[in-house]
């Protein structure tokens, strides 16, 4: 039985495509509005159903009339406990129930170039199961990346995840990914557990995909931070320490199904 937080479903359109785009967000304001406008301009809704995984936004950016004007297919609003990991479990539960073959996940803070979404879908159609978007591979691009974030990914996070997984990742903190239905449903992975409340679910999937024998690859993406002002992220200083702790628990096997 799946452990999923309670959530509300607002379906603006029926299922139209084999693949969907899932956008986790919480009070992203103008950032998500700009991102959705770019998706509309690039015709993403013509190749995939766009589904919002909302953590219960209160800033008005998920107004139903606005979302409908952006050709958003469905809005999911988490009403139960948990943070990002719970939002993903909510979204994955819905998309599996709806019968999608796979999903592309992308943050809702307008940092990632949505032009790569068709490439993720192409790789899923080719049989890849876990596709990590990377700004650091050939043809990838990044700009205004905070030095602390750059060093943390390159010197700590990516090497550690690569060591645990046996696959050489170059970019492991981004939620810009393509994921197959087969991988999400694997009982040896068992993602639908309440233990996954925050960022640990993303890291866990990165480690387990290669270890369970799934087809894994990275593809180039772009990630652009604003040139000035506050960095658009939900990760605080205390959050950075929590991530280190989560990585350590991953290495010790804490999140494995047979450990729970």
First to last CA, the chain: 15
Residue 70 has pLDDT above 90, yes or no: yes
Task: Looking at mean pLDDT, say which of 91-105, 133-147, 227-241 comes out highest.
Answer: 91-105
Query: Do 108 and 29 form a contact (C-beta atoms < 8 A)?
Result: no
86, 80 Cβ separation under 8 angstroms? yes
If one counts every other C-beta atom within 10 angstroms of the C-beta of residue 139, the result is 11
The CATH number assigned to the domain with range 7-259 reads 3.90.550.10
pLDDT band of 243, cuts 50, 70, 90: confident
Lowest mean pLDDT among 70-74, 109-113, 184-188, 241-245: 241-245
Write down the pLDDT at residue 149. 86
Sign for the CA dihedral angle at 27, 29, 32, 37 comes to positive
* Cα–Cα dist 113/141, whole Å: 9
From the list 174, 103, 165, the residue with the least C-alpha distance to 141 is 174
Instruction: Kindly list the distances between the CA atom of residue 196 and the CA atoms of 18, 54, 100, 222, in Å, as whole numbers in the listed order.
Output: 27, 17, 22, 28
Q: Count how many Cα atoms sit within 13 Å of the Cα of residue 122 in the half-sphere of its side chain.
A: 7
Q: How confident is the model at residue 237 (pLDDT cuts 50, 70, 90)?
A: very low
Q: d(Cα 256, Cα 260) in Å, to the nearest integer?
A: 7
* Average of per-residue pLDDT across 21-37: 97
Average pLDDT rounded to a whole number, residues 137-150 = 90
The total of other beta-carbon atoms located within 10 Å of residue 188's CB is 11
Domain boundaries, the chain: 7-259
Average pLDDT over residues 6-33: 98
Token pair in block for residue 94: 């819905």
Work out the burial of residue 40: count CB atoms within 10 Å of its CB; fewer than 13 is exposed, 13-18 middle, 19 or more buried. middle
Q: Which of 231, 236, 184, 197 is nearest to 55 (CA)?
A: 197
pLDDT of residue 133: 98
Residues 6+ apart with CB under 8 A from 173: 149, 152, 153, 157
165: pLDDT strictly greater than 80: yes
Structural tokens at position 83: 């943070």
* pLDDT confidence tier of residue 239, bands split at 50, 70 and 90: low
Residue with tokens 């449903």: 185
Please give the structure tokens belonging to residue 140: 């990838």
Average pLDDT over residues 202-231: 91
This model's pTM is above 0.85: yes
- CA 121 – CA 88 distance, rounded (Å): 19
């Amino acid at each position: 039985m799946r452990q999923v937080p309670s959530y509300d479903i607002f379906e603006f359109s029926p299922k139209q495509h084999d693949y969907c785009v899932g956008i986790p967000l919480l009070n992203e304001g103008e950032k998500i509005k700009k991102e959705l406008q770019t998706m509309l301009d690039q015709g993403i809704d013509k190749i995939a159903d766009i589904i919002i995984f909302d953590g219960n936004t209160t800033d008005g950016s998920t107004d139903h009339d606005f979302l409908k004007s952006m050709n958003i297919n469905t809005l999911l609003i988490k009403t139960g406990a948990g943070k990002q990991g719970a939002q993903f479990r909510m979204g994955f539960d819905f998309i599996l129930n709806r019968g999608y073959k796979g999903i592309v996940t992308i943050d809702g803070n307008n940092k990632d170039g949505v032009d790569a979404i068709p490439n993720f879908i192409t790789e899923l159609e080719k049989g890849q199961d876990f596709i990590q978007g990377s700004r650091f591979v050939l043809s990838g691009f990044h700009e205004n990346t905070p030095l602390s974030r750059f060093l943390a990914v390159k010197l700590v996070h990516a090497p550690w995840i690569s060591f645990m997984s046996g696959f050489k990742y170059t970019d492991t903190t981004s939620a810009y990914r393509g994921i197959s239905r087969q991988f999400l449903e694997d009982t040896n992975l068992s993602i639908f557990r309440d233990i996954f409340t925050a960022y640990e679910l993303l890291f866990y999937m990165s480690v387990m995909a290669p270890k369970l024998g799934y087809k894994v690859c990275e593809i180039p993406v772009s990630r652009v931070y604003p040139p000035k002002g506050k960095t658009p992220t939900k990760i605080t200083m205390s959050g950075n320490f929590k991530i280190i702790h989560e990585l350590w628990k991953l290495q010790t096997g804490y999140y494995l199904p047979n450990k729970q």
